[in-house]
Amino acid sequence: MRIKVDLHIHSTYSEDSQLTIDEIVRFYFENGFKAIAITDHETFQGALNARKLVKNLGIDLTVILGMEIETDKGELIILTDHEIVEIPRIAEKLIKKLKESNGLTYAPHPFDPDRKSLGENLYDLREIDAIEVINANSSKKYNSLAYDAMKLLDKPGLANSDAHTIEGMGRAYTIIEVRRNNVKDILDSIRKGKIIRRILRK
């Protein structure tokens, strides 16, 4: 089964986002997405609230718990099926902890100088699970550098919107192959590189 996913979305639980949980859930469901990750800065609360709303609405949309975390080497995004209480700030320790809990860690906008990005530190994090190679808010130049790093490190590459506004939702997304539409299978498919297409809308 092939599904559309956007794994980098910010809600009002991030100080720099205008998007409510209701706006996010309804947009992605109504536009044919089967899974999303709400990845607010330093909190799971937006994703937890989205899960509750999806359940209350009775709709077919998988919500992955996500968080964008500032580590000693730059920002990383974690994806998981359950809350993680103690979050390491050392990048290598964070990656190891997510592997031990069947979660996933990827590098968002790794070469964008206007963010708290990993930059060249990415090459030291050989155990990272994936790299965001299309970020709708990054320039073609910096996305191209991320794509080159993906090839060099032999990692799966993701396309995400990094949405903070209504206009930003769904601007970039990934189509992946999964057995079933649940968090475990989605994360497994990403780890195995079952990426069908990466799309950036104009």
Q: Mind listing the pLDDT tens digit for each residue in 91-130?
A: 999 999 999 999 999 999 999 999 999 999 999 999 999 9
* Rounded CA separation 115/51 (Å): 28
Q: Mind listing the pLDDT tens digit for each residue in 10-31?
A: 999 999 999 999 999 999 999 9
Q: Mind listing the pLDDT tens digit for each residue in 143-197?
A: 999 999 999 999 999 999 999 999 999 999 999 999 999 999 999 999 999 999 9
In the prediction, which pLDDT does 202 show? Answer: 78
pTM over 0.95: yes
Architecture of domain 2-200: Alpha-Beta Barrel (3.20)
Backbone angles phi, psi at 9, to 5 degrees: -135, 140
For the record, the structure tokens of 181 come out as 């539409």
